[in-house]
Structure 1
Amino acid sequence: MTSEYSAHHLQVLEGLEAVRKRPGMYIGSNGSPGLMHCLWEIIDNSVDEAVGGNGSTIDVVLRDDGSVEVRDRGRGIPVDVEPRTGLTGVEVVFTKLHAGGKFGGGSYAASGGLHGVGASVVNALSERLDVEVDRGGKTYAMSFHRGEPGTFADDGEARPDAPFTPFSDGSELRVIGKAPKGVTGTRVRYWADKQIFTKDAEFQLEDLRTRARQTAFLIPGLGLAITDERHDEPIETMFKYDGGLSEFVEYLATDAPVTDTWRVQGEGTFTETVPVLQPNGSMVATEVERTCHVDIAMRWGTGYDTTTRSFVNIISTPKGGTHQQGFEQELLKQMRSEIDKNSRRLKVGNDKVEKDDVLAGLTAVLNVTLPEPQFEGQTKEVLGTPAVRAIVAQVLRKDLQSRFTSTKRDDKTQVTQLLDKIVAEMKARVSARAHKETQRRKNALESSSLPNKLVDCRSNDVEQSELFIVEGDSALGTAKFARNSEFQALLPIRGKILNVQKASVSDMLSNAECAAIIQTVGAGSGRTFDLTQARYGKVILMSDADVDGAHIRTLLLTLFYRYMRPLVEAGRVYAAVPPLHRVIVMNPGSKPNETIYTYSEAELHKLLAKLTKANKRWQEPIQRYKGLGEMDAEQLASTTMDRGGRLLRRVRLEDVEAAGRVFELLMGNDVPPRREFIIESSDRLSREAIDA
């Protein structure tokens, strides 16, 4: 460090140098998310072509050499010379920042790429990038090494460490073959630069599938094929949907419907002053009229979770923006107005409906299409164009008012059910708040409101305490003697609890077993659940190791998933793993016999084979535990409850949407999909595994 600071200390990063020096500014990070962002940039260019009606398929191939290839049947990147730079269109697109056909020149009516930095940033951060273009009956090709055009001396298969010779006098766009008549398209293959990205950065197949599925929903008829060649057997997935946003909503929704999927479409215009590029190269501030198309699909279900996906020109805006603000504000305004009109029937009183009451159980997809939207940052996570808020609100207002005044019986029924649900959510929120205030006012000398059958622990240390939910009174009797009463509490349940996936909230709360569990955990339920108020650090489901025990465990998990999900998300729900067999190995002489527990049939057979090989005998018959009540306290403690020797399975919620679909399939109201699943999966079940 020096105290001197003058102009010669300043650095000017030219062109792609700035991208390599500060990649996080353009792609967010240099880990897996940044690697995926680069891939999105290339895919989005192909998607923008498909949106304009150029090409109906896009192929993405993850190759086993670390490269990735994106192929489309669009118009192909221009191959003629751009007059201002003297470079071919291909070289301009991949080497010049803020260059492209999406600045209002008429090539794209609306696109996701707006800043002209996507392809050039990917090129700058790639050890090697190859591009091929089919156009005008010829196939053109060009290669780049960390953003610099040149040629690789490939010996056989293309690879990034092949000798590279940069162009010295002028760049050359090679013609490498003939393209079939009328065929156009672009193929981009690149190897991410290991100097830029971290060692553990890799392409995430599930993230890629999710994005591809989402894009296929947003562009009906577009097919996206994903191929992963990084394994012994290639994994191929194809996404193509014709139902658009309505089908997307049906895919996202996991609960039973209160309304059908409502489709709202419309458009509005606005004016804005933007710099427009003139033929002579200068920028002139010009007032232009824009048209914004709005497409919304939404439906309410019996649950309380809100699932909203918002997009601008097919680009996801996970942090919302003006379009989502306009949607939510107008939705609340219209629902409040309709509830006020029906306040006597709904018995609303003086309470006001809030946004969370309206959004409870809502699954919605919102897509707006407009030229040159304003985003906050290159990662395009938030829409900033102010006029879009009013246009979305106007389109939604017109549709909802028409629906609310409709004389069709189906519309009337759905609106009535929806208003009933929103008011019920409002009343539940108000009641929960009143209950919380009452609890706060209780003084410490008042009696506890915990269930009578709870066998509580002595410790008040939430982090150390454990709640065992035990199946049946017989297991409870044994567990009382097996537990450590300092930090282990027991709550018995009688048989199979209510299937809350099918039942309403009121039915769930009036069910004695469900109410006892929620009361014991002490953190509320649904939207009012407060994880910080949970009385136990771990909740452990301890059921018998048979079919009925598995069913009870599934019913309990359904309750926790639907009404106490933050507990599952925090990794605080576990399933106990009691042993299936007890093998007593007989030792010769006075040496005491050895007791070994096994937890599956395969483990038992492996143990017996090992004992036979060692010429050891065991007592017959081998004890098979059919229930927790068959164990004595010492056995239950050492195998299932004692921290020193037990096994626990943590219940994870890594994919909430997938988990929701599984719960709805296995536990929901819709029977035909469940029957089909059982029939199709029957060959996966071993008859010997059925405990009957």
Structure 2
Amino acid sequence: MSSDYSARHLSVLEGLEAVRKRPGMYIGSTDSRGLMHCLWEVIDNSVDEALAGHGTEIAIVMHPDGSVEVRDKARGIPVDVEPKTGLSGVEVVFTKLHAGGKFGGGSYAASGGLHGVGASVVNALSERLDVEVDRGGKTWAMSFHRGEPGIFADADPKNPSPDATFTPFEKKSELRVIGKTAKGVTGTRIRYWADRQIFTKGAGFQVEDLLSRARQTAFLVPGLALDIIDLTGEEPHTTSFQFEGGISEFVEHLATDAPLTDTWRLNGTGHFTETVPVLNEHGAMLPTELQRDCEVDIALRWGTGYDTVVKSFVNIIATPKGGTHQLGFDQGLLKFLRQQVELNARRLKAGNDKLEKDDVMAGLTAVITVRLPEPQFEGQTKEVLGTPAVRAIVANVVAKSMAARFASTKRDDKAQSALVLDKVVAEMKSRISARAHKETQRRKNALESSSLPAKLADCRSNDVANSELFIVEGDSALGTAKVARDSEHQALLPIRGKILNTQKASVADMLGNAECAAIIQVIGAGSGRSFDLSAARYGKVIIMSDADVDGAHIRTLLLTLFFRYMRPMIEEGRVYAAVPPLHRVVVMNPGSKPNETIYTYSEAELQGVLAGLKKQNKRYQDPIQRYKGLGEMDADQLATTTMDRRHRTLRRMSMNDAENAGRVFELLMGNDVAPRKEFIVDSSETLSRDRIDV
């Protein structure tokens, strides 16, 4: 910062100098993440106003010059003089650390701003910050340069710039009146340019992150309208969010799998006391015991999958690293469901095994929100809630609300409660089975006996990266493939026809199915949540099924198994489909020259080859061989076309977007018949047979 500051601002600048010297302490980092944190410090002040019942609209404008503006129609920052400092409310908020309206509980019952450093930190880390306040029938304005109030001499007031000449106030700061407003109109507009002396060169505002968090905030404050206006592109673009359904709607948005239960709401209030220092009328800080109220509101639902999505919030501030409220939720849910499993142990065949947290969380989507005055956070980034009493309150609310749900006499509640118990017990059994599998499924060596299926024709090599497992359709194809394979690196596992549809089946059914269990056992890395990619026994898994509709169906069923229970294999690109030929054309060469063999993989390719042979006046054996299945090939033909690494074609199964893939699998293989029927009717004319397995 420059050295020509006036004496009256020394106290202000001494405080803000600490922010500029150690920005990471206040905003976490000086890259794009820190830049976004600054933006949310400003936005959250407007959200706190909405949360307190003032204003229902917030607009965030991304300007082409890199500045950002936040507008609201709330009460507006106070413009009157604060008696202790002699400064206007606007200057106090933007220049004094630990100053604001959120101490002592007078203006806000539950707020995300607690430390009084949000606006002043953003100001200290901005090359320029302009604030306009509509209040009392007037529009008031003030500008700051790296934390110091003053006036910018803009050539064009409609296009302000941080490069304009800046003159700091010397004797007294001036909160300027720049216009009039209609009676009753209030609000605040803050526009700032981040200081490039502070932030790293590549730091920039992340529009996708902004949209994601704006959507999240709109879910958490029902009725609040959030508009993101992006003026940085060639065409202005506005994205708006407003939701009336609150966190129930948020859960539906977050969930990626089919629902097992409806979205349940768990509500309750708890009380606790804490001792905090309070300023008395004589200016002394006295320890005072205060009674606090903590409101808990949770929305959750279980789905058919096993992925867990849990989001937690305190006064609508996201706590991505959890804290006492999330610990209380985990504790309350696990304790309650353990009790229910014990009570229903005979029906569930649960034995003496105990549920663990992962069993309960499988397939769970939950949003946890608590509201309380002056929560304790670990640091200004507010990623972890530290208030100890919240843990017991949340656990108690979860236990009571779940008990009421499970005791309900409504048919839907009883059915869904039973489904939840079935699911968590199935997950427990799956975990125990997976652990047993994992212990016995390491690649065998000379000193240990193998527990692998007898029908597996394993390879000799222990080099995982260079080994391949072919899953072949039927024993007839297995016989030919055994002769055709490279036994050093290629293993074979036959399956009998169409395996279980794992999109519909439970985990217990899947593990009880001989074919599914054999595949999981042979791959040797476990299944579901306990899947360990590093333990997989083969570098590639190749599905080798017939080139017909049944083969495509088998391939789809196998991919469903991998998608649901061994997803990292697909994500890492280690699952392939073999591409066997459909036709064999033998070209007859004259004289003693040996005949030439051409393999084709589609009807169109065959017709093209035949047309080319006719043009060259070459003869071919008629009829052309059409392979109905892998079993019709001899070993040399299968090796040359499908298994030999030098000549074969493999189709890698990729999954760039897991959510989209999940929706496709649910459409094709899920429980809901109507969308599948509609898809088949609509797509039957346009769908190529070649695309059936995609």
TM-score range, shorter chain: 0.7 to 0.9
Q: How far apart are residue 61 of structure 1 and its match? A: 2.6
Distance 1:141 1:558 in 2: 61
Distance 2:167 2:367 in 1: 47
Q: Is the 8 A contact 1:150 1:164 kept in 2?
A: no
Q: Name the counterpart of 2:139.
A: 139
Q: How far apart are residue 383 of structure 1 and its match? A: 0.9
What SS is found at the alignment partner of 1:263?
A: strand
Distance 1:110 1:43 in 2: 16
Letter in 2 for 1:268: G
Q: Name the counterpart of 2:50.
A: 50
Q: Name the counterpart of 2:591.
A: none
Matched, 1:176 2:173: no
Of 358, 373, 390, 1:356 maps to: 358
Distance 1:460 1:153 in 2: 74
Post-superposition Cα deviations, 1:332-362, rounded to whole Å, max 9, x if no partner, equal 2222222222333333332222232222222
Of 351, 366, 378, 1:376 maps to: 378
Q: Name the counterpart of 2:62.
A: 62
How high is the TM-score relative to the length of structure 2? Answer: 0.80
Matched, 1:416 2:418: yes
Q: Is the 8 A contact 1:110 1:369 kept in 2?
A: yes
Post-superposition Cα deviations, 1:647-667, rounded to whole Å, max 9, x if no partner, equal 9868356x7666655654564
**Counterparts of 1:226-245 in structure 2 under 5 Å?**
226-245=228-247
Summarize the Cα distance change of 1:650–1:373 in structure 2 as closer, same or farther, 3 Å threshold. farther
What SS is found at the alignment partner of 1:293?
A: strand
What SS is found at the alignment partner of 1:266?
A: strand
Q: Name the counterpart of 1:669.
A: 671
Q: Is the 8 A contact 1:628 1:636 kept in 2?
A: no
Count of residue pairs brought into register by the alignment: 653
Distance 1:472 1:192 in 2: 65
Distance 1:127 1:619 in 2: 79
Distance 2:244 2:159 in 1: 38
Distance 2:283 2:15 in 1: 19
Q: Which moved more, 1:466-475 or 1:656-665?
A: 466-475
Distance 1:618 1:438 in 2: 60
Distance 1:473 1:228 in 2: 61
Letter in 2 for 1:651: S
Of 340, 343, 349, 2:342 maps to: 340
Distance 2:185 2:87 in 1: 24
Q: Name the counterpart of 1:148.
A: 148
Summarize the Cα distance change of 1:438–1:663 in structure 2 as closer, same or farther, 3 Å threshold. closer
Q: How far apart are residue 677 of structure 1 and its match? A: 7.9
Q: Is the 8 A contact 1:41 1:118 kept in 2?
A: yes
Q: Name the counterpart of 1:395.
A: 397
What SS is found at the alignment partner of 1:305?
A: coil
What SS is found at the alignment partner of 1:14?
A: helix
Summarize the Cα distance change of 1:544–1:277 in structure 2 as closer, same or farther, 3 Å threshold. farther
Letter in 1 for 2:107: S
What SS is found at the alignment partner of 2:141?
A: strand
Distance 1:577 1:65 in 2: 53
Letter in 2 for 1:163: A
Q: How far apart are residue 265 of structure 1 and its match? A: 0.8
Q: Name the counterpart of 1:518.
A: 520
Distance 2:543 2:60 in 1: 43
Letter in 2 for 1:167: P
Q: Which moved more, 1:497-506 or 1:362-371?
A: 497-506
Of 425, 428, 433, 1:426 maps to: 428
Distance 1:483 1:75 in 2: 77
Summarize the Cα distance change of 1:333–1:576 in structure 2 as closer, same or farther, 3 Å threshold. closer
Q: Name the counterpart of 1:406.
A: 408
Summarize the Cα distance change of 1:340–1:100 in structure 2 as closer, same or farther, 3 Å threshold. same
Distance 2:369 2:51 in 1: 13
Matched, 1:89 2:77: no
Matched, 1:195 2:197: yes
What SS is found at the alignment partner of 2:464?
A: coil
Letter in 1 for 2:39: L
Letter in 2 for 1:108: Y
Letter in 2 for 1:424: A
Summarize the Cα distance change of 1:74–1:619 in structure 2 as closer, same or farther, 3 Å threshold. farther
Distance 1:106 1:313 in 2: 16
Q: Name the counterpart of 1:308.
A: 310
Distance 2:560 2:353 in 1: 32
Q: How far apart are residue 331 of structure 1 and its match? A: 1.7
Q: How far apart are residue 682 of structure 1 and its match? A: 7.2
Matched, 1:564 2:566: yes
What SS is found at the alignment partner of 1:236?
A: strand
Post-superposition Cα deviations, 1:353-391, rounded to whole Å, max 9, x if no partner, equal 223222222222111100000011111111111111121
Letter in 1 for 2:380: Q
Q: Name the counterpart of 2:270.
A: 268
Letter in 1 for 2:110: A
How high is the TM-score relative to the length of structure 1? Answer: 0.80
Q: How far apart are residue 57 of structure 1 and its match? A: 2.1
Letter in 1 for 2:168: F
Q: Is the 8 A contact 1:265 1:395 kept in 2?
A: yes
Q: Name the counterpart of 1:322.
A: 324
Identity among equivalent positions (%) equals 71
Summarize the Cα distance change of 1:136–1:530 in structure 2 as closer, same or farther, 3 Å threshold. same
Q: Is the 8 A contact 1:60 1:71 kept in 2?
A: yes
Q: Is the 8 A contact 2:151 2:169 kept in 1?
A: no
Q: Name the counterpart of 1:592.
A: none
What SS is found at the alignment partner of 1:429?
A: helix
Matched, 1:535 2:546: no
Summarize the Cα distance change of 1:69–1:652 in structure 2 as closer, same or farther, 3 Å threshold. farther
What SS is found at the alignment partner of 1:144?
A: strand
Distance 1:144 1:542 in 2: 69
Letter in 1 for 2:654: V
Of 461, 464, 489, 2:463 maps to: 461
Distance 2:548 2:38 in 1: 49
Q: How far apart are residue 328 of structure 1 and its match? A: 1.6
Q: Name the counterpart of 1:33.
A: 33
Give the gaps of 5 or more residues in structure 2.
1-11, 584-598, 603-614, 619-625
Distance 1:619 1:82 in 2: 100
RMSD, aligned CA:
4.5
Distance 1:626 1:72 in 2: 70
Q: Which moved more, 1:18-27 or 1:434-443?
A: 434-443
Matched, 1:651 2:654: yes
Q: Name the counterpart of 2:215.
A: 213
Summarize the Cα distance change of 1:154–1:549 in structure 2 as closer, same or farther, 3 Å threshold. farther
Q: Which moved more, 1:123-132 or 1:278-287?
A: 278-287
Q: How far apart are residue 495 of structure 1 and its match? A: 7.4
Give the gaps of 5 or more residues in structure 1.
1-11, 583-596, 601-616
Summarize the Cα distance change of 1:450–1:327 in structure 2 as closer, same or farther, 3 Å threshold. same
Of 501, 508, 511, 1:509 maps to: 511
Q: Name the counterpart of 1:162.
A: 163
**Larger Rg, first or second structure (1 or 2):** 2
Summarize the Cα distance change of 1:422–1:650 in structure 2 as closer, same or farther, 3 Å threshold. closer
Distance 1:162 1:563 in 2: 57
What SS is found at the alignment partner of 1:502?
A: coil
Letter in 2 for 1:83: P
Distance 1:144 1:245 in 2: 38
Summarize the Cα distance change of 1:537–1:187 in structure 2 as closer, same or farther, 3 Å threshold. farther
Q: Name the counterpart of 1:249.
A: 251
Distance 1:203 1:485 in 2: 55
